[in-house]
Structure 1
Amino acid sequence: MKVLKFGGSSLANAACFERVSEIILTNAEAASIATVVSAPQGITNDLVALTQHLNSSLIQNSKDCDLAETSDVESTLRTIERKLSDILANIIARNKALDKNSLCAELENLIVRLNQLTKGAQLLSHCPESTSAQILSTGEKFSVAMLNGFLSAKAESVSLIDPEKFLTTDARSAEPVADLKQSKRLFKAHYSGLQSLAIMPGFFGVKPNGETTTLGRNGSDYSAAVLAVCLDAQACEIWTDVDGVYNADPRLVNQVQLIEQMSYHEAMELSYFGAKVLHPKTISPLAQSDIPCWIKNTHSPQAAGTLISNSSNGAESVKAISNLSDVAMINVSGPGMKGMVGMAARVFSTISQADISVIMISQSSAEYCISFCVPGNEADAALDCLNQAFELEIKNELLEPISVRKNLAIVTLVGDRMQQQKGIAAKFFKALSQAKVNIIAIAQDSSERSISAVIRDERTDDAVRTCHQNLFIKRPSIDAILIGCGTVGKELLNQIKKQQPRLVDENIALNLVGLANSRKLLLEKNGIDLQTWETALESASQSFSLDAINQFVSDANLNNPVIIDCTSNDDIAKQYKDYLESGYHVVTANKKANTAEISYYRELREIAEQKQRRFLYETNVGAGLPVIDNLQGLLRAGDKLKQFEGILSGSLSYIFGELHKGLSLSEATLKAKELGYTEPNPAEDLSGLDVARKVLVIAREAGLELELSDIELEPVVPEELAALTDGEEFVARLPEFDEAFQQRIDQAEKDNKVLRYIACIENDCCKVSIQAVDTSHPLYSVAEGENALALHTLYYQPKPYVIRGYGAGAAVTAAGLFGDMLRTLSWDLEH
């Protein structure tokens, strides 16, 4: 026989009752079925409110108060009657074959009995515990009557099981525990001849003296477990409104994963520390009798669910993360604690006598302090009983005043295999640190099945999400914040959009969460829509600032934030230090930071190393060519740069190539501008300053401590033209220089040479100039927007190490930035 238990959400309305009856009948085709039911959703809450109103009215002395509370009792009674009547009416309306008279009579009997119990308590001026239990079990009895009507209408013979005849508990009232041996004996005595279908109301049983008692939180689940033990059932199925047990609370985490199978121990740890779908009391009797338990979804019966049994599947070291809120921590400390035998026993004996549950214990190694957690609503009672028990010790200063800290939560990792895996605790605490969550106390059981951390309750959401991301989501992520929406920035956005399918296939999450231009800042923790980013940015009301980004990253709890600078802005470059110190990777095409003062250059690298952040700038030289990466690789391998020659400007490479096709300097420049190879103001290209910055980056990477002013620079055009800040004016005036420049072209061609704009490093000095080179020179054939670099090193001589490829245009620069962004993943995964 199998036991099926259906919770309140599975019995919320007429359609739910129909669905449950179908599930029962489908299962009955393969095995005998005993069904345990809860009250319809919300009904138990109303019944609890009724008992509370009863108790309030009976302890009041004021006549006015009595009248007010009596009104509340009557109102609540009418609410309960209306809700149950509405469910019955809908059931009858939808199912004409049901025995309407019988069902109506059942409801009438329940309402009459509920009124009798209420009136009796009012006449006694006392609501006994057994009376309260009978009131609270009304909902379950209604569910049994309705379900019996459905099954009987299918010509099925149904046995009704009364838990008051066998389900015996201990004498405790708060969380009573079933006496399994006695319950099993009584069950066999009363129910030896059950039909193939049986129904039992959950949530209540009887004390040893025969009084009705409720079974506490998740009492119906516990009823089902006890019934399964009494029946020696082959399985117990808990049917609810979710597909099974998840590895985190789905209300806090979007990407929760269903746990297909877990052990009894894992289930008990998980439920003890806050998993709502389970309760440790439910699992314990099933574990003792080795009865497998399934958690299944009433609204999706075909879903596989979660199996809880004697074994756990898979290789996961951590099975789930749970969170328990509204916790208080009691601290008992003082010199009298150290070395005094029996102090811990006295503390917990006092708490036990007050019937207070201890959730977690942590003790200092010096024995100076014992800290333990209790439910938040029991904190004051715990403090009172401890102050009474240790009054003398506190008075004589053997103990410090006992303190309580409220509004806490416990976050717990659970998994049978955690003891077999090194570093789980380190990953757990690192994740909490990443979420900027302070740990108040920690505890780990001797079996190493669980690791718990006490934190502030208000930080629970951040803690759970970050721990889940770090420990369960096997998908490295990049949270990109892009600054600059010009030509390169737009191209990078296009590439991100195009590459998303490939990234998904490679299990990489690249989320554009921030976008800024010179005026506005757009932030979206779930990712900016790459189809409508321009409209969204234009509608943004926030302006760009590091404070705004920091607040956003903190609130959104981003794991791997990366700032991508697509500008050439000095002010942005000067903030890299702040970005790195705040925990961002920095990816940049902006050369201003790497060519600022040498002290700032060094400081950026020191901070990046200290904060374990990436500072990546491959596109500072050669656009998308792997110049910096190759140079750094050579230097790490012990090589040394002896001499360098290179064409480092894609725009000037194109212009100088066109010169030898018959175009004048102004014509070649205008053509390059129209193709998008130059800056909007070509003076920035022809001044040569951009090339000077690039060769300075290479020199500094090679270990030369040079400033930009140390570069010997020959501009392509006279300084008068190079200094023009208006692009249109520059283009208009450039033809004035064509004739003079043509003379250099003619002379070079006469000598069978071509002009190239070359940057050189030799004898620890840097020079940028126009050179005439012949066919033997490695840079002779470089044109049409190509970059080329010849590295003469200890390892590469007399033939240099040459890197060559296109270095002009937004596409290659954006591709270089894209590659640098992906390099931030390796750091995140390694650490």
Structure 2
Amino acid sequence: MQVLKFGGSSLANAICFSKVANIIHDCQKNSSVSTVVSAPQGITNSLVALIENLDSNGDQVKTLMTNIQQHFQQILEETFTNFSAINKNSTLDEFNQLIEKLDQLVQGTKLLEHCPTSTQAQILSTGEKFSVILLKAFLNSLDLNVQTIDPVNFLTTDDKSVEPIADLDKSKSRFLQAYSSPANVSLMPGFFGVKPSGEMTTLGRNGSDYSAAILAVCIEAKSCVIWTDVNGVYNADPRLVQDAQLIKKMSYHEAMELSYFGAKVLHPKTISPLSLHQIPCYIKNTHEPSQPGTLISNESSEGDTVKAISNLSNVAMINVSGPGMKGMVGMASRVFSAISLADISVIMISQSSAEYCISFCVPGNESDAALECLNEEFKLELKNELLEPISVKRNLAVITLVGDRMQQQKGIAAKFFKALSQARVNIIAIAQDSSERSISAVIRDQRTDDAVKICHQNLFLKKPTIDAFVIGCGTVGKELIAQIQKQQQWLSDKNIALNLVAIANSKHLLLNKNGINLSGNWQNLLTESKETFSLDKLNQFVSESHLNNPVIIDCTSNEDIAMQYDAFLTNGFHVVTANKKANTASFDYYHKLRAAADLKQRRFLYETNVGAGLPVIDNLQGLLRAGDELVQFEGILSGSLSYIFGELHKGLSLSQATLKAKDLGYTEPNPAEDLSGMDVARKVLVIAREAGLQLELSDIELEPVVPQELAEITDASEFLQKLPDYDSTFQLQIEKAEKNNQVLRYIAQIENQKCRVNIQAVDSNHPLYSVADGENALALNTRYYQPRPFVIRGYGAGASVTAAGLFGDLLRTLSWDQEH
């Protein structure tokens, strides 16, 4: 014998009823089948609304009755239209009797001006009874003889429990008396039974699932199958976690813990009788019956340490505390006795070791009642200030890890709390049972989605995620986007998820929480987007999309963007930048950025500020962390000027060399920015500040390559037009240097805590003599590295190396170390 149970979503319309009938037809070929059904989806809520409005005016009740009847009739009409084999006349006769009975109950209640609980149960069970009538008609059309089982004849509850709990022994005895030889196919409406007095009662939340479990015990079923609209139990709520994984096997204990802390597919009351009588339970999908589903039994999947993470929302925490609690015998007993007498269920308990405070969680809608009964119970203690005012924290949630084998694995709690920390979630309280089968944390309800997502990533996928926001679609920005696309397979092989969720330019903002398709027409989509870039827009997007590792990559040289970095960091973004404007703004702002990054535990990374793709900042920081100290610095810090000055000694004029460098993409869009020397000045200032010098940009002694009036031209075309006028003057410097067997180089220096940037003529003995063709070279004289300096040399011009440097910094924002 097998018990099948079908929920409301499995009986939502005529097509669903047909699917259910076919499943039953297939199952009965192998064994006898008893089926328990819920009301069609939405019906029970309508019946609850009807009861709640019975004391209102007649028109309201009439409208509700009409809506309920029309809902039923719509399903019947679909059935008669699409399934001609259904016996229409007998089905309608039974349906009309059901509606007539419902109307009699409603009218009787109106006359009495009171609705007893037994009458409420009869009204609320109308949906389940309808499902039996229609499903029986479907099964008869398949030539199956169906017996109807009435729960009133056997399913007896225990009056001693706060919630309706079945008396299994009495129910089984009564069942055997009423149904000594069940038919091969039988149907039973779920959700209701009777009290010991014989009055009809409902079984509470998931009552039909509970009915199925009770029936399985009564008929000593070989298994109980709960048919629903999902493929089984997942290791996280699939509505919150896109990559939630199906659990193939789980133990009764795991299932009860998981359902107790919020899993919607199950309820502890359902699992308990099955566990006591060792009846396996399957959770399967009505709409995909071939899927294996989840098996709940004594066995659990091998190797799984943590089975699942659940979340229970709309929770309130009650705190009872005060100096009078210390050593006061029976305080906990009084607290929970008062709560029990008020019929309030306690979800979780946490108590301080000093007995100074007892905290416990209750459903949010029961918090006011809990507070009222405790204030009454402890009114003398509160009056005499032995207790502090009893407080309630509302809008909370409980996040719980569940797994039978967690006690065999060290560090599970540490990983759990680390994940919550990475999601930037504050833990309000924690609880763990002695079996170590579950670990719970209370958090703010609004952070539930983020907490569940990050915990799932940490404990199940072990796949770190980066949510990238690229600002700037110029030469470097486009190259970075191309590299992100190109490296997707490499990232996948390294088990890293890098999603480019936003691209912005000066006029448009393109957003996609699932990642922008970089192989598609993202440039056209960006141009067509009506969104514009703003921090508020990004914050809203991050919140709504539940992104937990957002990274802004600034590929611009825009000062307005740079001056928002502190706001980005404060709002939880990592910042990766090639833009030097932030690090070379005021020294106060320089420190403000680092303070914001430290406070919010965000990364502020700017390796490309100095040497494009060369590891300058990282190496310098490494030396300083090791206790080294910068004594002197000398270097060529501009790849564009390195290339230009190299071409000068190949016979090109300054204007020709500059134009060639621009065409190759080595310079800024306006080469005046390169030839002004300001870019190099900013770079050397970054190095100086990293080394601990408190300098401003105005402190740099700067000699531009061209006269100041040329350097200040903001229009690129105008600059390139006027630059040849300076060629002859500059040619004199070139000829003078070559006459002395020297070459010109644009060199930055730090010495005696001062910075200088200028044109120097150097001979072949100078270490920067051979640096040309776009190379950067840096010589760091430190306490450890002297008289021979620490030298870093390589190409520092071009979008590809800069984008590669940004990509490297981007990977350094990974929120945790991968396990090996």
Fold similarity call, TM over 0.5: yes
Give the whole-Å Cα distance in 2 for the aligned partners of 1:628 and 1:327: 48
Matched, 1:684 2:669: no
How far the C-alpha of 1:220 sits from its partner, in A, is 0.9
2:812 counterpart SS class? helix
The equivalent position to 2:547 in structure 1, one of 538, 558, 567, is: 558
Q: Is the 8 A contact 1:480 1:514 kept in 2?
A: yes
How far the C-alpha of 1:223 sits from its partner, in A, is 1.0
- 1:671 is matched with which residue? 660
The equivalent position to 2:203 in structure 1, one of 202, 212, 215, is: 215
Give the whole-Å Cα distance in 1 for the aligned partners of 2:752 and 2:287: 78
Instruction: Note the alpha carbon deviations across 1:567-597, whole angstroms, 9 max, x for none.
Output: 3344544554454454432222223444456
How far the C-alpha of 1:771 sits from its partner, in A, is 4.7
Deviates more, 1:438-447 or 1:301-310: 438-447
Q: Is the 8 A contact 2:462 2:818 kept in 1?
A: no
Q: How does 1:413-432 map to 2 (within 5 A)?
A: 413-426=401-414, 428-429=416-417
- 2:280 is matched with which residue? 292
The equivalent position to 1:510 in structure 2, one of 498, 509, 512, is: 498
How far the C-alpha of 1:284 sits from its partner, in A, is 0.5
Deviates more, 1:271-280 or 1:805-814: 805-814
Matched, 1:185 2:173: yes
The equivalent position to 1:568 in structure 2, one of 557, 563, 571, is: 557
1:824 counterpart SS class? coil
- 1:489 is matched with which residue? 477
Gap change, CA 1:542 and 1:96, over 3 Å in 2: closer
- 1:132 is matched with which residue? 120
Matched, 1:229 2:221: no
Matched, 1:337 2:325: yes
Instruction: Note the alpha carbon deviations across 1:636-659, whole angstroms, 9 max, x for none.
Output: 567776765543322222222322
Gap change, CA 1:643 and 1:146, over 3 Å in 2: same
How far the C-alpha of 1:755 sits from its partner, in A, is 3.9
- 1:357 is matched with which residue? 345
Gap change, CA 1:718 and 1:376, over 3 Å in 2: closer
The equivalent position to 1:83 in structure 2, one of 67, 71, 80, is: 71
- 1:19 is matched with which residue? 19
Deviates more, 1:696-705 or 1:156-165: 696-705
Residue type matched to 2:705 in 1? Answer: V
How far the C-alpha of 1:276 sits from its partner, in A, is 1.9
Q: Is the 8 A contact 1:515 1:537 kept in 2?
A: no
Matched, 1:265 2:261: no
Q: Is the 8 A contact 1:580 1:611 kept in 2?
A: yes
Instruction: Note the alpha carbon deviations across 1:234-280, whole angstroms, 9 max, x for none.
Output: 22110011122233334444443333332222221222222222111
Give the whole-Å Cα distance in 2 for the aligned partners of 1:82 and 1:550: 45
2:166 counterpart SS class? coil
1:265 counterpart SS class? helix
How far the C-alpha of 1:687 sits from its partner, in A, is 3.2
- 1:148 is matched with which residue? 136
Residue type matched to 1:491 in 2? Answer: E
1:478 counterpart SS class? strand
2:246 counterpart SS class? coil
Instruction: Note the alpha carbon deviations across 1:664-706, whole angstroms, 9 max, x for none.
Output: 2222222222333222332332233333433444455456666
Deviates more, 1:648-657 or 1:503-512: 503-512
How far the C-alpha of 1:455 sits from its partner, in A, is 4.5
- 2:227 is matched with which residue? 239
How far the C-alpha of 1:366 sits from its partner, in A, is 3.7
Deviates more, 1:671-680 or 1:759-768: 759-768
- 1:59 is matched with which residue? none
How far the C-alpha of 1:542 sits from its partner, in A, is 4.9
1:621 counterpart SS class? helix
2:122 counterpart SS class? helix
Give the whole-Å Cα distance in 2 for the aligned partners of 1:173 and 1:720: 90
- 1:37 is matched with which residue? 37
Give the whole-Å Cα distance in 2 for the aligned partners of 1:119 and 1:577: 67
Gap change, CA 1:676 and 1:180, over 3 Å in 2: same
Give the whole-Å Cα distance in 1 for the aligned partners of 2:613 and 2:390: 65
- 2:618 is matched with which residue? 629
How far the C-alpha of 1:290 sits from its partner, in A, is 1.9
- 1:62 is matched with which residue? none
Q: Is the 8 A contact 1:479 1:561 kept in 2?
A: yes
Give the whole-Å Cα distance in 2 for the aligned partners of 1:575 and 1:154: 70
- 2:731 is matched with which residue? 742
Residue type matched to 2:636 in 1? Answer: I
- 1:47 is matched with which residue? 47
How far the C-alpha of 1:521 sits from its partner, in A, is 6.2
1:262 counterpart SS class? strand
Let me know the Cα RMSD of the aligned residues. Answer: 3.7
- 1:784 is matched with which residue? 773
2:579 counterpart SS class? coil
Question: Which runs of no fewer than 5 residues in structure 2 stay unpaired?
Answer: none
Gap change, CA 1:216 and 1:775, over 3 Å in 2: same
Gap change, CA 1:125 and 1:582, over 3 Å in 2: closer
Q: How does 1:198-597 map to 2 (within 5 A)?
A: 198-313=186-301, 315-399=303-387, 402=390, 404=392, 406-426=394-414, 428-429=416-417, 439-458=427-446, 460-465=448-453, 467-468=455-456, 471-517=459-505, 525=513, 527=515, 531-532=521-522, 536=526, 539-540=529-530, 542=532, 544=534, 549=538, 553=542, 556-596=545-585
Matched, 1:821 2:813: no
Question: Which runs of no fewer than 5 residues in structure 1 stay unpaired?
Answer: 57-64
The equivalent position to 2:157 in structure 1, one of 169, 172, 178, is: 169
Instruction: Note the alpha carbon deviations across 1:468-509, whole angstroms, 9 max, x for none.
Output: 455555332223333444332333334334444543454333
Q: Is the 8 A contact 2:457 2:464 kept in 1?
A: no
Q: Is the 8 A contact 2:641 2:746 kept in 1?
A: yes
Q: Is the 8 A contact 1:466 1:557 kept in 2?
A: no
Give the whole-Å Cα distance in 1 for the aligned partners of 2:749 and 2:377: 84
Residue type matched to 2:350 in 1? Answer: S
Give the whole-Å Cα distance in 1 for the aligned partners of 2:457 and 2:537: 24
How far the C-alpha of 1:445 sits from its partner, in A, is 2.6
Gap change, CA 1:821 and 1:537, over 3 Å in 2: farther
Residue type matched to 1:628 in 2? Answer: I
Q: Is the 8 A contact 1:173 1:213 kept in 2?
A: no
1:86 counterpart SS class? helix
2:157 counterpart SS class? coil
Give the whole-Å Cα distance in 1 for the aligned partners of 2:44 and 2:815: 53
Gap change, CA 1:408 and 1:771, over 3 Å in 2: closer
How far the C-alpha of 1:467 sits from its partner, in A, is 4.6
How far the C-alpha of 1:20 sits from its partner, in A, is 0.7
Normalising by structure 2, we get a TM-score of 0.88
Normalising by structure 1, we get a TM-score of 0.87
Gap change, CA 1:182 and 1:693, over 3 Å in 2: same
Residue type matched to 1:565 in 2? Answer: D
Instruction: Note the alpha carbon deviations across 1:328-368, whole angstroms, 9 max, x for none.
Output: 44444445433222232233223323333222333344434
2:469 counterpart SS class? strand
How far the C-alpha of 1:415 sits from its partner, in A, is 3.0
Give the whole-Å Cα distance in 1 for the aligned partners of 2:816 and 2:444: 30
Residue type matched to 1:267 in 2? Answer: A
How far the C-alpha of 1:204 sits from its partner, in A, is 1.9
How far the C-alpha of 1:41 sits from its partner, in A, is 1.9
Gap change, CA 1:298 and 1:705, over 3 Å in 2: same
How far the C-alpha of 1:93 sits from its partner, in A, is 3.0
How far the C-alpha of 1:6 sits from its partner, in A, is 0.5
- 1:61 is matched with which residue? none
Instruction: Note the alpha carbon deviations across 1:16-61, whole angstroms, 9 max, x for none.
Output: 111011112222333332211112222333333444455x3xxxxx
1:446 counterpart SS class? coil
1:238 counterpart SS class? strand
How far the C-alpha of 1:321 sits from its partner, in A, is 3.2
Residue type matched to 1:282 in 2? Answer: T
How far the C-alpha of 1:15 sits from its partner, in A, is 0.8
Q: Is the 8 A contact 2:509 2:529 kept in 1?
A: no
Matched, 1:92 2:61: no
Question: Number of aligned pairs?
Answer: 817
Give the whole-Å Cα distance in 2 for the aligned partners of 1:395 and 1:802: 75
1:40 counterpart SS class? coil
Gap change, CA 1:628 and 1:3, over 3 Å in 2: same
Deviates more, 1:337-346 or 1:489-498: 489-498
How far the C-alpha of 1:7 sits from its partner, in A, is 0.8
Deviates more, 1:516-525 or 1:35-44: 516-525
Instruction: Note the alpha carbon deviations across 1:521-543, whole angstroms, 9 max, x for none.
Output: 66665555653456646754656
Residue type matched to 1:206 in 2? Answer: V
Gap change, CA 1:537 and 1:195, over 3 Å in 2: same
2:706 counterpart SS class? coil
